[in-house]
């Protein structure tokens, strides 16, 4: 955006003069000062400088002063951009409507989250037998005045009399567990601290539940210290946390984590043993009828995914991708557990199997067929019965089923169809809509969405969804938002989004590319975008932009790219590798320092997807695309709004701080490099409604203002 050549610049010069200084014909932004320090590391004989290492000290007065100055600078820049207010108006109306979750059942109680549109956080309710009046269980809006203390997990006891629920403060991943009596509505005295990446798994006799926790971190380092040596505990109702029984820990394997499941018959504790974010896992189990029994290592090696689906006596069913990258269902008889005795129940298909449920004596399998959901029912013997007759293409999500019931619930959506919740009765094959999302200003007939396939650099066909208002001309002049993720076996599926709606309502096009590294086409697709293949993800993203430009949807100066977390890394790497393709960039809570990501909180766990800078071959790959290390001085980069949060203890904010400081120092032209730092928020989950609206409005308002000025 060249403000010297626009009337807008002269009109607004009095407001913006503090942002610029003029030297000859060159205009550059006068950013807040970011000092540099003489710090370097040596990796495998190569010296790597880190001039902004001081910004890793998040609580220092210097860092806090820097955060304040950057926020003031960004606020001043964004103030009065008309596009921000326009988007905020759309979002206010869209989100000032009721929302509801898919119900889940325990005994006769049907639980669901509900928001009338006015509340910062959704409340938890239940109905008896899914009939009559609702009963309020929890109101997270009472946890704090500003709505920044959120409900981050619930688990109902088997008799539906007790509720374990977790609270997260200001977006942190740390959870505090409490217990509520569902009959009285009062909390017990029980309280569990320092739990993270954990649910609550109840014993079938309702006497207590399993959970995972870490040792208490050092005071002041709660949001930054490395999280290793997770421990599995059993909490008995009415006991203090100090009395909780340590069930399993492996100090010799500090990277292992625990996912407990109690079998429906109550006889077994199955332990899903993870290692970082590696999709492969181990499986251990314990017979709960024999208290002295230790864990038996059923699958002791890290060779594939194994997810416990259920059991019939000693026969355990698992979803796995062992020798089946698209996924299959197998049976293991634990009385005869050698691999040669394993039985294949549902073989691998051409589509990616994402989840399996047991319901009413059937296996319910959820597949992805070219990124759209397909649900198929099988007999427990593996015989295919039928495909769920659902005529729409899109995403079925939040499937809620019980093994003993023919009733199931799920949500359906796509990019131009708001969420709708359905009830399906397997016994009579009846599908019924029970709730649909209302979005003021949205009319599905006014929008279009289609899937295309384009070639990446190496010739691989990559799917992408393109959505916009009807009647848009393909004249290369449309503001276009390109979103991607591409990592950790996570598929990016078609879902209605109010933020995308606001962009389209403003006349923009939304394109979502299903990059390699995700789980859209099974494990093979994932592996093509991880570790030493990570560059494929960036190439896929650049090829998406080139396709959109060639097909007339837009041009580089009208293209903004967005991504969060691993997607923030994607945007950071892409804007540095191919800056000529983009008119603006929006990297959110990104992993920007690929040589130090493993030094903080849970960052070490991502080595399964990224590799380790301590391994020379991995380092040679990481250093080539690490955003922080590939910023070139005296280069003109696209206008960029970096976003992060002070309480993000998953991707710590120093990633974005250091990236912003170095980008500002390197920028040689007037294109602004801004950073927006939220104070009472984390990686994203649990953010109150008003903060969500403000965040999206600032991001998209900045982008639209920039693109329409180009």
Catalytic residue among 235, 468, 526, 683: 683
Contact 576, 628 (CB under 8 A): no
Catalytic residue among 157, 198, 502, 565: 565
Backbone angles phi, psi at 141, to 5 degrees: -65, -15
pLDDT at 27 over 70: no
Q: Does domain 81-93+441-709 have CATH number 1.10.3720.10?
A: no
Question: What's the rounded Cα separation, in Å, for the pair 693 and 696?
Answer: 5
pLDDT at 22 over 90: no
The per-residue pLDDT for 522 is: 97
Q: Taken in order 215, 221, 223, 229, is the CA torsion positive or negative? A: negative
Which tokens sit at 15? 């407001």
9 CB neighbour count, 10 Å cutoff:
17
The per-residue pLDDT for 379 is: 94
pLDDT band at 199 (very low <50, low <70, confident <90, very high): very high
Q: How many helices (H) and strands (E) does the chain have?
A: 12, 41
The per-residue pLDDT for 386 is: 87
Percent share of the chain, pLDDT over 90: 92
pLDDT at 17 over 70: no
Condensed to tens digits (0 to 9), the pLDDT of residues 58-91 reads 999 999 999 999 999 999 999 989 999 999 999 9
The number of CA neighbours under 13 Å toward the Cβ of 661 is 23
On average, the pLDDT of the chain sits at: 94
pLDDT at 177 over 60: yes
Closest CA to 121 of 164, 179, 190, 167: 167
Condensed to tens digits (0 to 9), the pLDDT of residues 490-502 reads 999 999 999 999 9
Active site residue 683: yes
Condensed to tens digits (0 to 9), the pLDDT of residues 562-619 reads 999 999 999 999 999 999 999 999 999 999 999 999 999 999 999 999 999 999 999 9
The per-residue pLDDT for 293 is: 75
pLDDT at 6 over 70: no
């Amino acid at each position: 955006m060249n403000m010297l050549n626009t009337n807008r610049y002269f009109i607004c010069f009095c407001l913006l003069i503090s942002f610029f200084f003029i030297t000859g014909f060159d205009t550059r932004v006068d950013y807040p000062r970011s000092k540099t320090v003489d710090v370097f590391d040596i990796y495998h004989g190569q010296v790597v400088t880190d001039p902004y290492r001081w910004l890793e000290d998040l609580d220092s007065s210097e860092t806090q002063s820097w955060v304040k100055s950057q926020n003031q600078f960004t606020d001043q820049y964004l103030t009065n951009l008309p596009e921000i207010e326009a988007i905020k108006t759309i979002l206010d109306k869209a989100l000032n409507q009721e929302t509801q979750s898919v119900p889940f059942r325990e005994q006769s109680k049907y639980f669901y989250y509900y928001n009338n549109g006015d509340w910062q956080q959704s409340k938890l309710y239940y109905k008896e037998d899914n009939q009559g009046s609702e009963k309020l269980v929890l109101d997270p809006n009472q946890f704090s005045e500003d709505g920044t203390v959120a409900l981050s997990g619930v688990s109902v006891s088997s008799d539906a009399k007790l509720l374990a629920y977790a609270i997260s403060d200001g977006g942190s991943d740390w959870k505090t567990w409490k217990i509520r009596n569902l009959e009285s509505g009062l909390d017990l005295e029980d309280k569990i601290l320092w739990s993270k990446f954990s649910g609550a798994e109840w014993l079938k006799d309702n006497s207590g539940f399993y959970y995972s926790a870490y040792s208490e971190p050092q005071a002041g380092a709660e949001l930054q210290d490395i999280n290793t040596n997770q421990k599995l505990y059993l909490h008995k109702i009415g006991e203090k946390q100090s009395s909780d029984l340590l069930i399993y820990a492996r100090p010799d394997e500090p990277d292992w984590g625990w996912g407990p499941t109690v079998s429906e018959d109550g006889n077994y504790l199955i332990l899903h043993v993870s290692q970082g974010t590696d999709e492969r896992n181990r499986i251990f189990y314990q017979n709960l009828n024999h208290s002295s029994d230790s864990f038996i290592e059923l699958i002791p090696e890290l060779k594939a995914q194994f997810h416990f689906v259920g059991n019939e006596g000693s026969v355990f069913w698992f979803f796995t991708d062992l020798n089946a990258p698209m996924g299959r269902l197998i049976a293991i008889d634990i009385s005869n557990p050698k691999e040669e005795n394993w039985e294949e129940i549902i073989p691998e298909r051409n589509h990616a199997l994402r989840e399996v449920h047991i319901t009413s004596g059937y296996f319910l399998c959820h597949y992805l067929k070219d990124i759209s959901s397909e649900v198929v029912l099988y007999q427990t013997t593996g015989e295919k019965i039928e495909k769920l007759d659902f005529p729409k293409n899109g995403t079925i999500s939040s499937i809620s089923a019980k093994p003993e019931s023919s009733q199931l619930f799920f949500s359906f959506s796509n990019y131009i169809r708001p969420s709708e919740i359905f009830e399906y009765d397997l016994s009579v094959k009846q599908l019924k809509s029970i709730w649909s999302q209302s979005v003021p200003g949205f009319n599905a007939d006014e929008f279009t969405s289609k899937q295309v396939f384009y070639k990446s650099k190496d010739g691989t066909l990559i799917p992408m969804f393109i959505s916009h208002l009807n009647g848009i001309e393909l004249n290369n002049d449309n503001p276009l938002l390109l979103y991607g993720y591409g990592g950790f076996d996570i598929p990016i599926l078609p879902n209605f989004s109010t933020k995308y709606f606001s962009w389209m309502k403003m006349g923009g096009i939304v394109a979502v590319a299903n990059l390699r590294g995700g789980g859209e086409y099974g494990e093979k697709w994932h592996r093509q975008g991880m570790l030493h293949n990570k560059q494929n993800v960036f190439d896929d993203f650049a090829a998406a932009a080139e396709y959109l430009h060639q097909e007339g949807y837009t041009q580089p100066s009208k293209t903004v790219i967005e991504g969060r977390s691993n997607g923030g890394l994607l945007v950071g790497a892409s804007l540095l590798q191919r800056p000529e393709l983009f008119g603006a960039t929006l990297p959110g809570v990104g992993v920007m320092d690929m040589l130090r990501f493993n030094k903080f909180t849970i960052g070490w766990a991502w080595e399964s997807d990224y590799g380790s800078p301590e391994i020379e071959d991995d380092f040679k790959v990481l250093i080539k695309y690490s955003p922080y290390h590939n910023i070139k001085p005296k280069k003109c980069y696209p206008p960029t709004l970096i976003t992060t949060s002070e309480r993000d203890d998953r991707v710590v904010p120093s990633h974005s701080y250091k990236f912003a400081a170095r980008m500002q120092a390197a920028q040689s032209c007037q294109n602004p490099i801004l950073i927006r730092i939220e104070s009472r928020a984390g990686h994203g989950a649990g953010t109150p409604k008003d903060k969500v609206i403000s965040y999206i409005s600032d991001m998209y308002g900045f982008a639209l203002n920039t693109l329409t000025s180009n």
